[in-house]
Structure 1
Amino acid sequence: MRLWIGLYLPRLPLEVFCPRWSADQGSVVLEQERVLAASPQAQAAGVRPGMRRGGALMLAPQAQLHQRAPTLEAEALQAVAMALLQFTPQVAEGEEATLLMDVGASLRLFGGVRALCRQVLASLQALGFTAALGCAPTARGAWLLARSGGGRGLTMATLERRLARLPCSLLPPARPYLSWFEGIGCLTVGELRRLPRPGLQRRCGRALLDMLDGAHGQTAELFEWLAAPESFRAKVELFDRVEHAEALLFGAHRLLLQMTGWLCARQFAVERVSLALEHERGRVARPPTMLEIVLAEPTWRAEHLLRLLKERLAKLVLEAPVIGLCLEAPQVRPMMPPSESLFPEPGGSKEDRQRLFELLVARLGPDNVLQAVPLADYRPELANQWVSVQEKIRPADARAQLPPDMPSLPRPAWLLAKPVALLMRDHRPFYGSPLKMMSSGERIEAGWWSQTQTRDYFIAEGQDHAHYWVYRERLASADGQAEPRWYLHGLFG
């Protein structure tokens, strides 16, 4: 199924200067000394598009006036397009602040066209932009529906009925001839299509017919798709000087959405994220504050990264106000999507557990969330160490640390922190009841100088059928004991 989504950003000139998540007190965008767009606060004061500069200042003297910045608008449109790459790799820029997305191959992945449209609009809202969405089997049809305020025409029959009611003024090639169309009573696209094609082409040119044919699926449509860069680096200027770290989450979310789109387009998963908090420039300039998030498991999901960043920002105390953010992905690797198991684990997948560990590290610190790593030592109490979960220990490396001649005798699930000396009764070790040896001995001799240990380990069974891991010293103890003593070192489940 071929399906296109068209997105028209009518408030782009205004939202470049005051995004929807900003604390705007009234802004007006001017073009050639006339009002092009006004924020809701300025509109409430009476400012309207087309009004002269002086009239806008008289009605809203506290409003901030901005000259239209086509360069900033183009950068903002590119940022939105980068974020939309998470839904489809085929994103193209259209005329008049519009974006076109070929989403036919993405419908099943995102749960259908309605769910996909909701996610696209939610992403735009998180970015701080307002958009009208059109959905149609043709790109030009989706563009026209978006420019008219939004709508869906999922089949060609429905699309033709919707297009027939649209005004001719939506077609850019028809705008120079609107007075002539009004004179002959041709006001809608449907009436325009019923005019004789040879005469229409002779009067208005071929571009108008090509746009009509493209919207109705009668000609092929070619686009230049947005290409993701080789590396990711994005910046955002904040709407004001921010003195509290938690207030930076809105701008950081915008950058994370762009990075998610870049990761999906490049088929990468990020392992390390770097966020620079930029401070004042000029005479009082100071280096940016750096925040780094190291992931135990590579990811490309913005929700998980946002949770980690929220925890880090909640603990950060800013030494100076922040005026901008810069996000980079310095360490990435090829994306490996999770495989569906026939019998999934009840406790969640490995990725779910790694995301939980990363959230705990962000909240408690890397030195407070530890994992056990084996060491090449025959002594059981020294055969492992605790390191941070951020240190990656591959299974092959863990196996390589174990001695090649390590015996395959069973080990207890619970190793005591300190061996417990056992009583002797009738020449047998006693722990609640006399212990009966159930295995052959396992001899361990390891350590240097004062740390030398010579032990014979056995699996013992008590009268309650519980199993214990005990050992006997092969040498007499240093306290003058004549016979080697027995110790309890572990418990079996």
Structure 2
Amino acid sequence: MLQLEVFVKHWPGVEESIPSAVLQQGRVSAVSQSARQAGVYTGMRTGGAQMLLPDIRCFQRDTQQEQLDLLASATALLQYSPQVALAEDDTILIDISASLSLFGGIRALRKRIQATMQALGLTANTGIAPVARAAWLFARLAAQKKRVGKHVLGSKKLDRHLDRLPVGLLAAAQDSLELLQGIACHSLQDLRQLPRPGLQRRCGKAILHELDAAYGEQTELHQWHVAPPEFKARVELPDRIEQADALLMYARSLLTQLLGWLTVQHLAVSHIHLELLHERGRQAIPPTLFDLKLGQACWQEAHLLSLFKERLTQLKLHSAVIAIVLEVKQTSPRELQSEALFPEPGGKAEDHQRLLELLVARLGENAVLKAQPQADHRPDVANAWVSVTKSVIKSVTKSVTKPVMKAAIKKTTASNAGPVAGMHAAVNLRPDWLLPKALPLEIRNHRPYYESELSLISPAERIEAGWWHEQIQARDYFVAIDAKAVRYWIYRERAMDPDSDHAVWFLHGVFG
């Protein structure tokens, strides 16, 4: 079916509507279910198929794309085992002996493998056995009979199940089927009972090698699939899609490949670049580009898929999409997870980071910010707002003044105030909230006035900095109290001229 699924993929929830067939050298080599029900069969000439079904879609076989789809599938399956190999007859072999306990047993692992193939838009028939060639035969029989493949885990039962298989399953027996059936050799058991020298003279040595490999009497060597050093994948859409949220299913197929690549490389991704391709040719339209940046590198499918969903839901397309390209821009080594003996009730730090990334995907990068202290003595400059997706704050270097400063970040709760990240010595008092802009104060009875006269209750904290930015500040800060015992942080602007007595008072912060 891979010949047909190259052109008509079986996406989840998308039903086949138009009968389709793949042609090779003027004959049908693969046919869809609806076309088969109408009487089209493999080997039929093209004219006969079109006469029987005038609306049938015919495709010329594309072996190159078939190989690309097999490689994509092998990359996606690397998340279950690092030993994945491509075999003949569009078959993928996976060594799952070390993966059964990790994925909850053979049945759970089989369901996950089939779900992975379904996410790629492909169907898969499975066969499981202690020997690779035996598993290959079981999978091939399941594909021919359209049923669940055999699962044989014990070596003692393997011979009995293999003996019942038809001899036509062997790849090396295809040219000798008429001869074998003429001597009443229908099963592998019948084939094993024939004299080996005579069988080799009439059918070749390859059939003996394949038979011995199936029963585990001869070792097979496989070339394991190696993931590329960089990840970039593309998926063609079955139709022009104009709604961004409808792209999630196809983006998931790319994400499935990415998970396999990350697993075998022992990496986590922190920057994903996505391109939505539109019209080509004379009416070409530039692709829609967007990046998914994570504050903490991730490799979990559920989290990445939720971020994709949020970004695509918020995206507005200016033209229909015909293909999607996903490229990994930045990765980091995967960190081993360590579970605590007594889990924290508020969740782990990773859970908090995933929540922030989900909010960024939903609200935008500039809508979710964090406070970042700056190495500056000026209170209104000592804090900057940056996106939570940016890297962790670098260590603060020494300021031009000699004392080493500390940073304090408080969350804002007042509508007219912002959090202060003050660079200050431990002995100095700083308020919980800074006003977005300092408020000039009146002078009454030679005192600053804000709803009532303010009394100074602390010595002056002198700040004189900013000359290197040509934004010098020369201020004396005080803690003041009003008639209702509310404490404020006010400052007096010192005159630049040492001979001037002029001073202006400002309200800059409020203590909680």
Do the structures match in fold with TM over 0.5?
A: yes
The aligned residue for residue 511 of structure 2 is: 490
Q: Give the CA deviation at 1:100.
A: 0.3
Tell me if structure 2 keeps the 8 A contact 1:156–1:216. no
1:445 equivalenced with 2:463 (yes/no) = yes
The aligned residue for residue 64 of structure 2 is: 71
Taking the aligned partners of 2:185 and 2:88, their CA distance within structure 1 comes to: 24
Q: Give the CA deviation at 1:472.
A: 8.0
Structure-to-structure mapping, 1:20-39, within 5 angstroms: 20-21=10-11, 24-39=17-32
Taking the aligned partners of 1:91 and 1:224, their CA distance within structure 2 comes to: 8
Q: Give the CA deviation at 1:349.
A: 2.3
Equivalent position amino acid for 2:63 in 1:
P
1:130 equivalenced with 2:123 (yes/no) = yes
| Structure 1 residues 210-252: Cα deviation after superposition (integer angstroms, max 9, x where no partner) | 2222222222221111111121222222222222222322222
1:18 equivalenced with 2:8 (yes/no) = yes
Tell me if structure 1 keeps the 8 A contact 2:372–2:386. yes
| SS of aligned partner of 1:234 | strand
The aligned residue for residue 3 of structure 1 is: none
Q: Give the CA deviation at 1:190.
A: 2.3
Query: CA distance change for structure 1 residues 60 and 410 in 2, over 3 Å: closer, same or farther?
Result: farther
Q: Give the CA deviation at 1:360.
A: 1.0
Taking the aligned partners of 1:411 and 1:94, their CA distance within structure 2 comes to: 73
Tell me if structure 2 keeps the 8 A contact 1:166–1:189. yes
Query: CA distance change for structure 1 residues 69 and 488 in 2, over 3 Å: closer, same or farther?
Result: closer
Structure 1 window deviating more from structure 2 (303-312 vs 117-126): it is 303-312
The aligned residue for residue 155 of structure 1 is: 154
Q: Give the CA deviation at 1:475.
A: 9.2
Q: Give the CA deviation at 1:54.
A: 2.3
Query: CA distance change for structure 1 residues 38 and 447 in 2, over 3 Å: closer, same or farther?
Result: same
Tell me if structure 2 keeps the 8 A contact 1:91–1:225. yes
The aligned residue for residue 349 of structure 1 is: 348
The aligned residue for residue 222 of structure 2 is: 223
Q: Give the CA deviation at 1:457.
A: 6.0
| SS of aligned partner of 1:371 | strand
The aligned residue for residue 333 of structure 1 is: 332
Structure 1 window deviating more from structure 2 (32-41 vs 165-174): it is 32-41
Q: Give the CA deviation at 1:338.
A: 2.5
Tell me if structure 1 keeps the 8 A contact 2:490–2:509. no
Report sequence identity in percent. 45
| Structure 1 residues 242-272: Cα deviation after superposition (integer angstroms, max 9, x where no partner) | 2222232222221221222222222222221
1:46 equivalenced with 2:39 (yes/no) = yes
Taking the aligned partners of 2:122 and 2:59, their CA distance within structure 1 comes to: 18
Query: CA distance change for structure 1 residues 476 and 78 in 2, over 3 Å: closer, same or farther?
Result: closer
Query: CA distance change for structure 1 residues 289 and 384 in 2, over 3 Å: closer, same or farther?
Result: same
Equivalent position amino acid for 2:224 in 1:
W
Q: Give the CA deviation at 1:121.
A: 0.5
Taking the aligned partners of 1:140 and 1:55, their CA distance within structure 2 comes to: 37
Query: CA distance change for structure 1 residues 159 and 171 in 2, over 3 Å: closer, same or farther?
Result: same
Equivalent position amino acid for 2:178 in 1:
S
Structure-to-structure mapping, 1:56-205, within 5 angstroms: 56-149=49-142, 150-205=149-204
**Structure 2: which 5+ runs fail to align?**
143-148, 406-424, 442-454, 496-500
Query: CA distance change for structure 1 residues 200 and 313 in 2, over 3 Å: closer, same or farther?
Result: same
Tell me if structure 2 keeps the 8 A contact 1:373–1:398. no
Tell me if structure 1 keeps the 8 A contact 2:3–2:22. yes
Equivalent position amino acid for 2:256 in 1:
L
Query: CA distance change for structure 1 residues 201 and 475 in 2, over 3 Å: closer, same or farther?
Result: closer
Taking the aligned partners of 1:401 and 1:334, their CA distance within structure 2 comes to: 32
Structure 1 window deviating more from structure 2 (332-341 vs 12-21): it is 332-341
| SS of aligned partner of 2:127 | strand
Query: CA distance change for structure 1 residues 417 and 55 in 2, over 3 Å: closer, same or farther?
Result: same
Q: Give the CA deviation at 1:290.
A: 1.1
Structure-to-structure mapping, 1:264-303, within 5 angstroms: 264-303=263-302
Equivalent position amino acid for 1:66 in 2:
F
Tell me if structure 2 keeps the 8 A contact 1:80–1:258. yes
Taking the aligned partners of 1:289 and 1:457, their CA distance within structure 2 comes to: 54
CA root-mean-square deviation: 3.8
Tell me how many residue pairs correspond in the alignment.
Answer: 466
Query: CA distance change for structure 1 residues 475 and 57 in 2, over 3 Å: closer, same or farther?
Result: closer
Tell me if structure 2 keeps the 8 A contact 1:447–1:453. no
Q: Give the CA deviation at 1:455.
A: 3.3
Q: Give the CA deviation at 1:474.
A: 8.5
Q: Give the CA deviation at 1:368.
A: 0.8
Query: CA distance change for structure 1 residues 486 and 314 in 2, over 3 Å: closer, same or farther?
Result: closer
Tell me if structure 2 keeps the 8 A contact 1:18–1:24. no
TM-score (norm: length of structure 2): 0.79
Structure-to-structure mapping, 1:311-390, within 5 angstroms: 311-378=310-377, 382-390=381-389
Tell me if structure 2 keeps the 8 A contact 1:152–1:159. no
Larger relative contact order, structure 1 or 2 (CA cutoff 8 Å, min sep 6): 1
